[in-house]
Structure 1
Amino acid sequence: MTIRVPATSANLGPGFDCLGLSLGLYNTVTIKPANFQTISIQGENKRILQQKANNMFVDIFYQYYKDLTNEKTKFSFDLTNSIPLSRGLGSSSAVITSAIASAYKMAKIRLTKNELLQLSIKLEKHPDNIAPAIYGGFVVSTIEDDTVMSLKKNIPNTIKAVVVIHKKTISTKKSRKKLPHIYEKTDTFFNLSRSSLLTASFFSENWDLLRVASKDKFHETYRMELLPVLFDIQKHSYDSGALMCSLSGSGSTMFCLCYENDAAKLSNKLSSKFSDCRVKILDFDNQGIKSYE
């Protein structure tokens, strides 16, 4: 059994902890019953992950598999990772969702995407990455009485993502400590109006409103101060044709959205300007997590 889960970009400016979308960049895991456990890791952060005593995916998988079956079956795990760690592209959400889904698949127990969402939120407290990883597309989410409620909109192929992945990492925990405990009323109104407009822009496919709609006063400035070059990347992205450019999650990646015909030009200009970054043109993923036999 093979399972594939996409990278995600969360917040999208003003949608702090509630807005996210799915990108065409994937982690893939193949699992087979085996006489003894083996773990093979390829791709992003291979050396770091191999040095860890515990593998997060394997730990979560066995936790759920044993609860579901009461069996101690051994498996081989072949992990191929394209989602970099600690770059704001949803690597933790990818692990959590795929590990739980894999456990149910190997236990031969049906699991709906909504059920997977409700299980995953117990391990990842914010739905902005979890929901698009599961559903794909652009997703707006809220939590009511410990239950996640989400709405999805498919993203057309007439627009592309250009992600600028800095070589330095930013810790989500560290960056959250930079945020204020109290916000001014005017800043709250600012973000409410932009988050609402951003959501409406995606659902109506009115992309020309995104530059205004993606402005934020809750978190981006505080987090980007940890790596000031991100301000330059954002400015240069707008100067080079981006429709929006926001900090992806807690960083250090900057997420840009542009028209399909502008993607190559934007990517080339950013690549030539910022040598400490990898720049990728990505499609948007509208399927979310997916398994194959």
Structure 2
Amino acid sequence: MKEFIISIPASSANLGPAFDSGGIALNLYLTLKVAESDQWELISQSSFLPTDANYEENLIYQVAKETAKRHNKQLPTCKLTINSDIPLARGFGSSASAIIAGIELANQVCELSLSPDEKLTYGTEFEGHPDNIAPSLFGGLTITSKHFKNDVDWLRIPDLDLDVVGYIPEFELETKAARGVLPAYFSKEQATTASSISNVLIASLFSGNYELAGKMMENDLFHEPYRSELIPHYHEIKKEAKRCGVYGTVISGAGPTMVSFAEKGKGKSIAEHMQQFLQGYQISALQIDTNGLQINNTIKTAVE
């Protein structure tokens, strides 16, 4: 086995009204260096990562083992050196990135030759929904639809002329808790209105009408009205960011991180202003990752 490195970007899902279907890849990364070893060894090099004493409790290993098993293969023992810029339980798709790392680990060391669609299907099955899996796999903005038969259709917009500002709080918010505040049902009228807002959001992003996209982002009816009370300073962040000229500000995934979408080239100055305005948050100027999953020191690629 030759040494190689797997790199997976973070992701921000929902974009407001594109609930459980839209997501965007960001330039924060989980990296996994893989080397041959006589026994399993996991070395964590980031404060964002769990310090699992037992490799069998690590999500990357569990997903890799299950992926190999589906193809009647057994994982060879490896030394895994893991690093991450992605904070846990903050709304940046940390679990999706780990799941993709596990799938790709098995794909490489067991020579499974998985197609991009197979990776997406497996990832969606492990994660439960594709909105974080797809952008981390393919990069850019992805729109997905998971059918009742677990089929996943997807479309990618690699090039958006936008900067992203992330507002990352010190506290965590588990997805289960954030989902617990959502209504079980919507009326026909509510669903129609909420879906129409999502449709206009996607159309405006495709056409480059970012002013309209921002308006749609901030008029979500699916989840933000219910989750906003779980996030301190939610309304203050949106109001001050709008004063800075952003197109729109939304909850990233299930939260508690929030993200603003701004004109290209203005993200850094907005982040600097918001850092002075907001205490207890790490404010970061981010870029949209357009590459998705990458494999280094190997001839194989993420999207064939």
Band the TM-score falls in, shorter-chain normalisation: over 0.9
- For residues 181 and 70 of structure 1, what CA distance do their matches in structure 2 show? 40
- Is 1:243 aligned to 2:244, yes or no? no
Match for residue 77 of structure 1?
Answer: 80
Find the aligned partners of 1:133 and 1:185 in 2 and give their Cα distance.
33
Shift of 1:243: 0.8
User: How many angstroms does 1:67 deviate by?
Assistant: 4.7
Task: Verify the 8 A CA contact 1:27 1:94 in the aligned structure 2.
Answer: yes
1:122 aligns with one of 99, 120, 125: 125
The residue number in structure 2 matching 1:258 is 262
Query: CA–CA distance in 1 between the matches of 2:238 and 2:207?
Result: 25
Q: Distance in 2 between matches of 1:44 and 1:90?
A: 16
Q: 1:110 aligns with which of 110, 113, 121?
A: 113
Q: CA deviation at 1:266?
A: 1.0
| Alpha-carbon separation, structure 1, partners of 2:241 and 2:152 | 34
Work out whether residues 73 and 110 of structure 2, in 8 Å CA contact, stay in contact via their aligned partners in 1: no
Larger displacement relative to structure 2 (177-186 or 206-215): 177-186
Measured after TM superposition, the shift of residue 11 of structure 1 is 0.5
State the 4+ residue runs in structure 1 displaced beyond 6 angstroms: none
CA distance in 2, matches of 1:100, 1:270: 37
Give identity over the alignment, percent. Answer: 28
Letter in 2 for 1:93: A
Shift, 1:66, TM fit: 4.8
Deviation at 1:184, TM superposition (A): 3.7
Seen in structure 2, the aligned counterparts of structure 1 residues 262 and 116 have a Cα distance that, compared at 3 Å, is: same
Matched, 1:175 2:206: no
What residue is the counterpart of 2:51 in the other structure?
50
For residue 107 of structure 1, report the CA deviation from its aligned partner: 1.2
- The answer to whether the 8 A contact 1:240-1:265 is kept is no
**Contact preservation (8 Å) 1:194, 1:212:** no
User: Secondary structure in 2 aligned to 1:111?
Assistant: coil
TM-aligned CA deviation for residue 69 of structure 1: 5.7
Q: 1:210, 1:239 → 2: CA distance? A: 17
Q: Deviations over 1:168-216 (max 9, x none)?
A: 1111101111111222444323321211111011111111112211121
1:35 is matched with which residue? Answer: 38
SS of equivalent to 1:102:
helix
Q: Find 2:197's aligned residue among 194, 199, 216.
A: 194
| Contact 1:68 1:107 (C-alpha < 8 Å) held by counterparts | no
Equivalent in the alignment of 1:24: 27
Aligned to 1:98: 101
CA contact (8 A) 1:7 1:26 kept: yes
CA distance in 2, matches of 1:269, 1:183: 38
- Answer yes or no: is the 8 Å Cα contact 1:131–1:139 preserved in 2: yes
- SS of the counterpart of 2:184? coil
Of residues 223, 228, 237, the one that matches 2:227 is: 223
Task: Assess if the C-alpha contact under 8 Å between 1:57 and 1:99 holds in 2.
Answer: yes
The answer to which of 120-129 and 52-61 deviates more is 52-61
Distance 1:266 1:151, change over 3 A: same
Please give the alpha-carbon distance, in whole angstroms, between the structure 2 residues aligned to 1:103 and 1:185: 44
Tell me the distance in 1 between the aligned counterparts of 2:70 and 2:184.
39
Note the C-alpha offset of 1:68: 3.7
Whole-Å separation in 2 of the counterparts to 1:70 and 1:287: 29
Query: What secondary structure is seen at the aligned counterpart in 1 of 2:164?
Result: strand
The aligned counterpart of 1:131 is 134
Shift of 1:72: 5.3
Unaligned ranges ≥5, structure 1 = none
**How many matched pairs?**
290
Alpha carbons 1:44, 1:83 under 8 Å: kept? no
1:182–1:62 Cα change, 3 Å: closer
Q: CA deviation at 1:278?
A: 0.5
Match of 2:273 in 1: 269
Measured at CA, do residues 182 and 284 of structure 1 come closer, stay the same or move farther in structure 2, by a change above 3 Å? Answer: same
Q: 1:181 to 1:63 in 2, by over 3 A?
A: closer
Cα distance in 1 between the residues matched to 2:21 and 2:73:
36
TM (normalized to structure 1)? Answer: 0.94
In structure 2, distance between residues paired with 1:201 and 1:239: 22
Question: What corresponds to 1:278 in structure 2?
Answer: 282
